[in-house]
Amino acid sequence: MQLREEISLKPFNTFGIDVRARFFAEALTEEDIIKLAGNLREDYLPLLILGGGSNILFTKDFPGTVMKISMKGIHVIKEDEDTVWVKAGAGENWDDLVKFCVDNGWGGLENLSAIPGNAGTSPVQNIGAYGVEMKDTFFELETFDLESKGKKIFSKEECGFGYRESIFKLKYKGRFIILNVTFRLLKKPVLHLDYGNIREELTLMTADHPGIADVREAICRIRSRKLPDPAVIGNAGSFFKNPVILPQQFENLKQSFPGIVSFPQDEKIKLAAAWMIEQCGWKGKRIGNAGVHSTQPLVLVNHGNATGPEIMQLSSAIRDSVQEKFGVVLETEVNLI
């Protein structure tokens, strides 16, 4: 593994922000990680662990070392009559993993189709879509501890999963490098079709008796229509989280905004941030090279040579207008560096 200097990070983040890393290394094996992490001099710090770069916004050059995690591999580690446990290297492309499982008839990940990023970053954010979260099929993950310089396995309970949260995003941010993730999948899949427009899309596909391959295709079709391709226009997917509020606050909002879009979230209410952003007039709006996507206002886009601060300035204006109109504070889902 080569440690390179003054490397542009534009090819390594889906927003396409052109900043530089003082040092850059790509880890293809666990041994690469252990070797580099064990020999980081003071002048190589800080250390940034980078996956697929699909949920990150660089606001400036990075003054230390960026380590890109690229370990591949998908393996069945055990199975029984009903269940299969699948382990994926942290650098495995997330959608390639979903496709692999669907092609083998193993259910649980199909609703998470077409989400950009890598397997190793999926637990950090507890990614979710169409009524399913990563934690629903998660079994365990293996990490390298930058403090003890040893490996540690985390169970589902130890990861502290919440809505787009985990201990790796909060309590242990920057301490553990995820090496691989194991999922527990079903050989007799249970379909989740009641979120969004999945059933309508399946009807258009004339899938009268759908299986997980049909669900995957339906979701891929929906996402391709609604969301921009980072290969065509820079973006990091949903920039904001959907806010979760108490029922009483929701009832008050509903009196003023009868059309407000919401979903149940345990004993609380999850609001559709995209709907609120659109109501504030931001859908399709552009300020310089930074803009709001024309069909999905939850996604901010780079129209060309936008900088991180320009994207941040736009996001702050959106957050202020939503708070002023609805009294709700939007939280950023994208990691800011």
In sequence order, the 6+-apart residues with CB closer than 8 A to the CB of 123 are 134, 135, 138, 141, 159, 161, 166, 168, 178, 181
Q: Which of 70, 133, 140, 164 is catalytic?
A: 164
The DSSP bridge partners found for residue 268 are 265
46 phi/psi in degrees, rounded to 5:
-75, 170
> Could you tell me how far CA 236 lies from the centroid of its own chain?
8
Contact by Cβ (8 Å): 325, 280:
yes
Q: Which of 26, 30, 278, 333 is catalytic?
A: 333
Report the alpha-carbon distance of residue 229 to residue 235 in Å, rounded. Answer: 8
Active site residue 294: no
In sequence order, the 6+-apart residues with CB closer than 8 A to the CB of 78 are 84, 85
Active site residue 164: yes
Report the alpha-carbon distance of residue 18 to residue 26 in Å, rounded. Answer: 18
Q: Which of 70, 122, 238, 315 is catalytic?
A: 238
150 phi/psi in degrees, rounded to 5:
-130, 170
Task: Cite the active site residues.
Answer: 164, 238, 333
